[in-house]
Amino acid sequence: MPETIVDFSKLCVHTQTNKPWNLEECIRNYASAGIHALSIWRHLLEDLSFAEIRKLVADHHMDVVSLVRGGFFASTKKKTRDAALADNLLAIEQAAEIGAPLLVLVCGSDPAQSLELSRDQIREGISKILPVAREAGIKLAIEPLHPMYAADRSAICTMAQANQMAEQINDSSLGVAVDVFHLWWDPDLERELIRCGKNERLFAYHICDWNVPLKDLLNDRGLMGDGCIDLKQIRTWVEAAGFSGYREVEVFSD
């Protein structure tokens, strides 16, 4: 039997994939499995100091790919929008402290107002935090979410919308995070990935699979190969768009 060689050099795992684990467990367990890149979900920062996190990351030769997540800019209430801005500024600071070069944005939506108005507020919110992000050396990535989340999680549902917003704001620190769970169904995906790549805005690539049937809209993502997403095809497009970064495994599952 020929030995199977597994290349983990481009593999990154989102801590939320291993939900019961704290940050220290994630780092230790990934490293001992030969995985040396992770994207960190913000609530896991609470248990440790920034210095402790930096030491754990360095000791285990981990690459911190991104901090997840900022955003949620849209609301009918000004107070809520202001609180979101403050939280995003905190997230930028946290990313800088832990050495994460990228903050992923789940942009938000409020069912009490139109999607157009939510998108205006998202554009305004991103524009306000961008100078601070740029100054801190942190990039921001708009993550378009599947339209089933349009009511309350993201008024940005397609690559075309994410590309359009990034082009309108037009700042080299702003790009797009591509997640196959949210985008696999889109007939314009190939074209929009290429457009994003041409703009040099394809900042992150998240992978998992779409289980059939999908038993929970949030927490029933499949492992790659278990569902119906043509991952090889999408990867070909992502690579054709010039992306050569990590493949980030992000599986929410109970």
Residues forming the site for Zn ion (CB under 5 A): 179, 206, 250
* Residue 38 Cβ vs Zn ion, minimum distance, rounded to whole Å: 14
CB of 179 to Zn ion, least distance (A): 3
Nearest approach in angstroms of CB 14 to Zn ion is 7
- CA distances 216 to 35, 197, 213, 228, Å, are 28, 32, 9, 16
Indicate the helix (H) or strand (E) that contains 115: helix 115-136
Phi-psi region of 61 (alpha: psi -120 to 50; beta: other; left: phi over 0): left
Contact 35, 64 (CB under 8 A): no
Q: State which residue, 27 or 183, has the beta carbon closest to Zn ion.
A: 183
For Zn ion, the closer of residues 68 and 98 by Cβ is 68
CB of 15 to Zn ion, least distance (A): 12
Q: Helices (H), strands (E): how many in the chain?
A: 8, 10
Could you tell me if 204 and 10 are in contact, meaning their C-beta atoms sit under 8 angstroms apart?
Answer: no
